[in-house]
């Protein structure tokens, strides 16, 4: 039987334990998972594509069935190019539903052969997003339990530097 391959696209700016939980659970269902950083021209990320890939790589280094990559353009085209059959997404609150429903319907319209598979968040991480992590880290909050250690370190370095630059700019 052909191996099942799924693409998990997202901003991953940066990866959190919520993302990791989805990846770990998907590993039980699929033979290979490609975690792909989507380069979105309409979003200004905190971390570069390279850094986001590096942090994903580090967080999944013990998972031989998980590959890290990045792409731009249509997700369905990328999925097809990688010879995968489905798109993986996580669902948290009801508020995620509308956007995800719209996106998966559009993707189905663009390529009827590709399905979107949703995994429900672990309630432990239902509140967790890259944005709340960035906000908490910016003001010195304790995020240890919520992100892999290398993400915590990267956030500290990045935010300390930009905070100092902003502060100096104001003078
Ligand atoms: P995007 O900008 O594409 O939404 P994100 O990195 O924010 O990128 O999220 C990628 C995917 O991971 C989305 O499907 C999102 O719903 C899911 N996700 C993010 N955080 C969590 C979490 N705490 N629990 C479950 N799924 C999550």
The domains found in the chain, sorted by start residue, are 5-126 (3.40.50.620)
The whole-number pLDDT of residue 171 equals: 46
To the query of whether residue 43 is one of the catalytic residues in this protein, the response is yes
Check pocket membership of 129 for ligand 1, CB cut-off 6 A: yes
Check pocket membership of 96 for ligand 1, CB cut-off 6 A: yes
Per residue in 21-49, pLDDT (tens digit) is: 999 999 999 999 999 999 999 989 999 99
Check pocket membership of 14 for ligand 1, CB cut-off 6 A: no
Contact by Cβ (8 Å): 42, 69 = no
To the query of whether residue 19 is one of the catalytic residues in this protein, the response is yes
Please confirm whether the linkage preceding 21 is cis (ω < 30° from 0): no
Q: Give the predicted TM-score (pTM) of the model.
A: 0.93
Per residue in 34-90, pLDDT (tens digit) is: 999 999 999 899 999 999 999 999 999 999 999 999 999 999 999 999 999 999 999
């Amino acid at each position: 039987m052909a191996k099942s391959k799924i693409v998990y696209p997202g901003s991953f700016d940066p990866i959190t334990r919520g993302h990791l939980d989805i990846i770990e659970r998907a590993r039980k269902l699929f033979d290979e998972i490609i975690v792909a950083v989507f380069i979105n021209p309409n979003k200004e990320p905190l971390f570069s594509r390279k850094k986001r890939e590096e942090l994903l790589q580090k967080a999944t280094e013990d998972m031989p069935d998980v590959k890290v990559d990045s792409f731009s353009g249509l997700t369905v085209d990328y999925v097809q190019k990688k010879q995968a059959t489905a798109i993986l997404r996580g669902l948290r609150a009801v508020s995620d539903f509308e956007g995800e429903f719209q996106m998966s319907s559009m993707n189905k319209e663009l390529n009827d052969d590709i399905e979107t598979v949703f995994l429900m968040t672990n309630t432990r991480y239902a509140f967790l997003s890259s944005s709340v992590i960035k906000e908490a880290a910016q003001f010195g909050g304790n995020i240890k339990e919520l992100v892999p250690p290398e993400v915590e370190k990267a956030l500290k370095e990045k935010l300390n530097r930009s905070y100092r630059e902003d502060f100096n700019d104001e003078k």
